Structure 1
């Protein structure tokens, strides 16, 4: 059962919602599926086009995976480390991402990419836009697992005012429509120990990368 209580769906901006505790009932299936993806396609620290190594470790599942290197930011069908196709997106991933999108008012979301980020203590993700996708009419669905984090959600310019949102294990953020290209980021992860995921925060970001 998915949460249906309206008080757990909090609007944070136009067409952007925080779904508190949306994943909590699904840990028994979600976390083993996550472990299987990471086993098949190990986490790694990718480098940005200017050579900066990201503090967040990454991998992907689905038809397409987001990658970054000296050639730029883009989606690729193959894992550049293994040269194999990315692992298939687990059915529980897809089911929950589609359900979260519907809860936030986005019908017919069919993700073809799931970027998996692992944040160790001290890592962060600078303010950025998700703009490597072919069609911005589809929303972004973002799962939070493990250690808590502060999520900064701004506007469509880097200088726009931001709101700070506390994300906990099991929370989901969905944004699209008028907020689809809003800048966002994760502040430095503070030391802690999660009972299921240890000293880490995992973020699963679902997107429709292709038109």
Structure 2
């Protein structure tokens, strides 16, 4: 992602003071209950950012995960601030001490928003028929990929007219994934879109980034 693109997505992010981040990063917590063998697609999606796999995603873990998929640290901090301010209170158990900024994977379904594709149901489970509709309705240039314009069309087609507040999240989510995962010809493949829902696209992006860094390092040592 270019600096200009990251600045565009970060522009609407909620600012959080350095003091608050230090407070959150040093906050201790116990392991959350999470059955990794029976995760929903949505739980797998967010589990990528649960770097220590304890069922609880802290802002620092989200920052680490966002950097791992190819974003710069400034964007990652702004992204984490916005996401945790929204999802932390929604997914935190009532008996967890304030400030409720960590995201609990067990309750991530409570953070689902409207104006989405329907490829995840209300509990975060994958819905194959709705996933197929993404391409049958919007993949007009190639049957198994989406162009930038087709992604925009997809977002607009799924807007809930009765819930305007839900329009912003899909723009940011799809925009970020498109910027990071489209190929050199500008296509977002079906496999990449499928990987959005279960988090596999994040794993792939992290692996590609590590591979690129390794090649760059090797090239530098040969000069």
More helix by share: 2
How high is the TM-score relative to the length of structure 2? 0.27
How high is the TM-score relative to the length of structure 1? 0.28
More strand by share: 1
